[in-house]
Amino acid sequence: MAPPAPPPSRVFAELDLAPAPEGRAGLAALPGREVHVSGSAELSARPDRARVSLRLGSRKEAAVAARSSVSRRLQYIAHSARLRGVPEENMTVTEDFSRVENTYQMEAEAFLPSASCKELVCIIFSDFGKMQSVCNLLIEKLGTSVTINPPHFYHTPEAIDTLRLYL
């Protein structure tokens, strides 16, 4: 959903019909008249980046099986993102592997009450169409084995500096 368009710029002017005080008339001022002008500005811009985090996990009786299950899905996620033009440096993977009772679990972002291996995948997008395409594909292909958190939209420092040039 696009944010609403900013209102048009406005400038306020006032014509003072009272005579100008002595010594106040400049070269461009008409005798007895002054014009006062004031203004304000507001600038807004859509975010230029979105960060999407994904969570995936597996709980198995064998450690190798838990790691393998998550690794295959991680490779698929990374491959799908790269095919859609997301650079490798915009993807971060954090993993945690643990054992609780007699099972091993590999999962992203949250601990579950048993052995676990956690994986958190964070992807940064500058093209929101690609973001939507990658997220839709992953939900379609991986189903409930992956949880995609809502995107976090933000401005890069460079985008903010560019906006400041217009103020």
Residue 145: per-residue pLDDT:
83
Number of C-beta neighbours around residue 59 at 10 A: 18
Average pLDDT over residues 71-82: 87
Would you state the pLDDT for residue 128? 92
pTM score of the predicted model: 0.61
Pairing of strands 11-16, 34-39: antiparallel
pLDDT greater than 70 at residue 112 = no
From 10-24, 64-78, 84-98, the region with the lowest mean pLDDT? 10-24
Lowest-confidence pick of 26-40, 73-87, 119-133: 26-40
- Per-residue pLDDT, 43: 76
Q: Where are any strands of DSSP class E within the chain? A: 11-16, 34-39, 49-60, 91-100, 103-107, 117-125, 146-148, 152-154
Q: Which residue has the higher pLDDT, 66 or 80?
A: 80
- Whether 66 contacts 104, CB under 8 Å: yes
CA distance 52 to 150: 7
Per-residue pLDDT tens for 2-27? 555 555 656 566 655 555 566 555 44
Q: C-alpha angle 83/84/88, rounded to 5°?
A: 70
Residues near 95 by beta carbon (within 8 Å), at least 6 away in sequence: 70, 106, 108, 117, 118, 119, 120
Give the pLDDT score at 167. Answer: 66
How high does pLDDT run on average in the chain? 75
Q: What is the mean pLDDT of residues 62-83?
A: 85
Predicted pLDDT of residue 122: 84
Instruction: Give yes or no for a contact between 117 and 98, defined as CB atoms under 8 angstroms apart.
Output: yes
